[in-house]
């Protein structure tokens, strides 16, 4: 969708994964909230368009090092929800996300975009699917990168992360009141994309003919 609109694509989840990854690399326990929060304020995280044609959506660097695929390991998967629940971490990263969103023309993805980061977004789309379908998709992603993990383990970890993200006191996972809920369980990528395009077109009709939604969030 971002490519169609010629907008910036920003998956904010990679920022939390980056903090998790650097904490693990520096042997800082993800359970050490104070240390991890300090790290989130100190570390330099840059997200840019893909610099390598290997299937990545963005190139993510931490202190200048390309860590794009390192952020998708099971170890990061297992700890990112805990790290993302810390107030200090969210404070540091949300401030960066707000600045990017304020420039407009961005498709921003994350679990609290429509409710916390940019509640003024022109269009909010809450993408969802069943837990089982999301686990199957994650498993395919892992296998495509040469990683092996039992389906049951992927399912269990995803269920645990959903519980943490939905029940945390700060910026819990939930749809904004004015978000369009789009269940993609039985949709192909193409079908989901066409439905989002329809929603974008509908938003355009509310504005002047030569304008487009300033921001699209899912």
What are the boundaries of each domain within the chain? 2-217
Residue 144, strand partner residues: none
128-145 pLDDT tens trace: 999 999 999 999 988 988
18-69 pLDDT tens trace: 999 999 999 999 999 999 999 999 999 988 888 888 888 889 999 999 999 9
69-79 pLDDT tens trace: 999 898 999 99
Whether 151 and 131 have beta carbons less than 8 Å apart is answered as no
Q: Which CATH superfamily is domain 2-217 in?
A: P-loop containing nucleotide triphosphate hydrolases (3.40.50.300)
């Amino acid at each position: 969708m971002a490519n169609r609109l010629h907008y910036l694509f920003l998956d904010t989840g990679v920022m939390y994964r980056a903090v998790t990854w650097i904490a693990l690399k520096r042997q800082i326990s993800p359970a050490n909230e104070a240390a991890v929060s300090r790290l989130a304020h100190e570390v330099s995280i840059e997200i840019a368009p893909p610099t390598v044609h290997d299937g990545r959506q963005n190139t993510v660097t931490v202190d200048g090092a390309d860590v794009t695929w390192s952020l998708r390991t099971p170890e990061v998967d297992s700890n990112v929800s805990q790290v993302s629940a810390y107030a200090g971490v969210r404070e540091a990263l949300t401030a960066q996300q707000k600045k990017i969103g304020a420039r407009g023309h961005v498709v921003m993805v994350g679990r609290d975009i429509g409710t916390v980061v940019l509640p003024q977004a022109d269009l909010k789309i809450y993408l969802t699917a069943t837990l089982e379908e999301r686990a199957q998709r994650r498993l395919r992603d892992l296998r495509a990168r040469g990683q092996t993990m039992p389906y049951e383990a992927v399912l269990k970890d995803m269920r645990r992360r959903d519980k943490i993200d939905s029940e945390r006191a700060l910026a819990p996972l939930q749809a904004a009141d004015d978000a369009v809920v789009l269940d993609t369980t039985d949709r192909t990528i193409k079908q989901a994309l066409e439905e989002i395009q329809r929603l974008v077109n509908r938003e355009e009709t509310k504005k002047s003919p030569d304008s487009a939604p300033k921001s699209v969030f899912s």
